[in-house]
Amino acid sequence: MTGSPAVGRSGGHAVRRSGGRVAAAICAAVFLTAGPTDRLTAVSSTAASSTAAAQDPWPILDHASATYQTVQTLTADFVQVIENPMVGPPDTTRGRLFQQRPSRFAMRFHVPPSDRIVADGKYLWLYTPSTTPGQVIRSRIPDAGTTGPNLIGQFVERPRERYTARYVRADSTAAGWIDVVALTPHDSTLPYSGATIWVGRGDGLVHQLEIAESGGQIRRVWLSRLQLNVPVPTAEFRFTPPHGVAVVNQ
């Protein structure tokens, strides 16, 4: 991935994209620490190809998994870009993300304003008045068998059991080297066919994420101003439907 995500939404296309945001809370599962990809400078194609052929991805994923186990809370600014050629131009959203293991998660959108995704430990709430005014979608969070909507666990918890992994290349950043790893899930029922993650060699954090979702949709996410293991206001994990807003159970 190259270049920074562009800001923009495209009117009538936004309604059809609203469902994509709930997937961010359910199937995407990584925490990211870098800004947009213009901070990344790829190594030469020859060197990258040679390194990829020799590099074992599993120590990298083991490092990311061990790092994840030390994280209880996370907050960060996010930029998310969704591309779907069947819908129209890329859809870019921005905001602040909050997470508390095991099953509390929230995305408070600034662009578009007022949109929210909240997992309160029992229910996942999708409230997007920018695209579907007058309603909020509520889904039950499974009690077992899931890492929860935490933007971390799906890719870095027990990756050896869940994925086939392939080393892609090394990228250089101002903060140090980052290893790029492609993942293909063993479970064909998941709502994505593959993902690529950027893992810092020094910190074991995933700095960037790209998910190939059902229907040809591509989701890219970046986080910045990331803080680990700091108190998160409990209000971020609560959602009360505004007056007049219908609750749609799924």
Say if CB 129 and CB 114 are below 8 A apart: yes
Tell me the C-alpha to C-alpha distance, in Å, between residue 126 and each of 66, 74, 207: 31, 20, 25
Backbone angles phi, psi at 129, to 5 degrees: -65, -15
* Distance from C-alpha of 250 to C-alpha of 72, rounded to nearest angstrom: 28
42 falls in which pLDDT band (50, 70, 90)?
very low
Question: What would the pLDDT profile of 58-93 be if each residue is shown by its tens digit?
Answer: 999 999 999 989 999 988 889 999 999 888 899 999
Question: What would the pLDDT profile of 154-175 be if each residue is shown by its tens digit?
Answer: 899 999 999 999 999 999 977 6
- Of 3.40.630.30, 2.50.20.10, 2.60.40.1180, 1.10.10.60, which CATH number belongs to 13-249? 2.50.20.10
Report pTM: 0.75
